[in-house]
Chains A and B, each alone.
Chain A
Amino acid sequence: MFDVTLIHYLFLSAVLFCVGLLGVIVSRHLLRVLISVEFMLNAVNINFVAFSNYNDLIRLDGHIMAIFVMAIGVCELAIGLAILILVFRKTHSVDADGEYIEEEKWS
């Protein structure tokens, strides 16, 4: 077969990033938007680790950046899910287009 090089990982990462971007634009469920943002962060992580493996295995900067991106992404996801739950409590809907039924009593 072929020899796996850096450019294959870069193509894979570009495709994954574009799928995440498409999901952010297209989908109507707020949870799916958050999942798509995580796809984009994972694509960036693949780029970092691939560059670190093929060019910079001495200083390992790509690995450390990947750890930071991972921690910040999970923090962002947790806060986003908390906001999602708050929005659901207020409006009884998780529609990203904002078409929800106005409740009489805000519980």
Chain B
Amino acid sequence: MEFLNSAVFLIFAAMIIFSSVFAVFAHKIEYSVLSAVVCFLSVGALFLTLSADFIGASQIMIYGVGVSILLAFAIMFTGKDSPKSLYLTNPLRVFLGFVLVLTFLSVLIFFISPVLDPKSDGAFSSYGSFAAQIESIRQIGTAKFIGRRIFCDYVLPFELLSLLLLAGIVGVGYLAGGSKKDV
């Protein structure tokens, strides 16, 4: 079981890292979009291994299906690249970007490596009275509890989020809709 957990984690982590690097450095934008979709699906599968079934299903539906269709539409509308292919910026900025990102990654790893003891197996032992809820999350999933939390404690952010999505729909329709002269 432990072997299975670590094998699944390693497979999906490798898929995420390789497909994201390929999406950044692919020569053609179509390959880049396909590789990005692979990365999104792998992140969704990784959510499923974290006992987050609702988030994993949302990730696969939103990113794996919706966002990929949006990106395909964007490629379709913007057509082919300009005659010289758009790949990387000038070499000075590429070099400075690599330096900056490697520095940032080393700072991140420096800060997250000593914080957590790798042998700690979560903090479930301190939740003695909630053992029933954890057991039911293990059995029926997290959707019920997420719904209860959202509609009890996070009602206002949830409704504001729906307003934001409505404004996004109207704004996208206004921006990308056909030009007024054609009508």
> Which residues of B are interface residues toward A (Cβ below 8 A)?
2-3, 5-7, 9-10, 13, 16-17, 20-21, 23-24, 29, 32-33, 36, 39-40, 43, 46-47, 50-52, 54-55, 58-59, 62-63, 66-67, 70-71, 73-75, 77-79, 81-82, 86-90, 93-94, 96-98, 100-102, 104-105, 108-109, 112-113, 116, 118-124, 127, 130, 133-134, 137, 142, 145-146, 149-150, 154, 157, 161, 164-165, 168, 171-172, 175-176, 179
What is the CA–CA distance of A69 and B118 in the complex, to the nearest angstrom?
28
What is the CA–CA distance of A106 and B28 in the complex, to the nearest angstrom?
28
What is the CA–CA distance of A96 and B39 in the complex, to the nearest angstrom?
23
> Chain B residues near A82 (CB, 8 Å)?
171-172, 175-176
What is the CA–CA distance of A46 and B121 in the complex, to the nearest angstrom?
18
> A12–B16 contact, CB under 8 A?
yes
The 18 sampled A-B contact pairs (Cβ below 8 Å) are: A1-B3, A3-B6, A4-B9, A5-B118, A8-B13, A18-B108, A19-B21, A21-B104, A29-B29, A35-B32, A46-B43, A68-B161, A75-B164, A78-B172, A79-B172, A88-B77, A88-B79, A92-B82
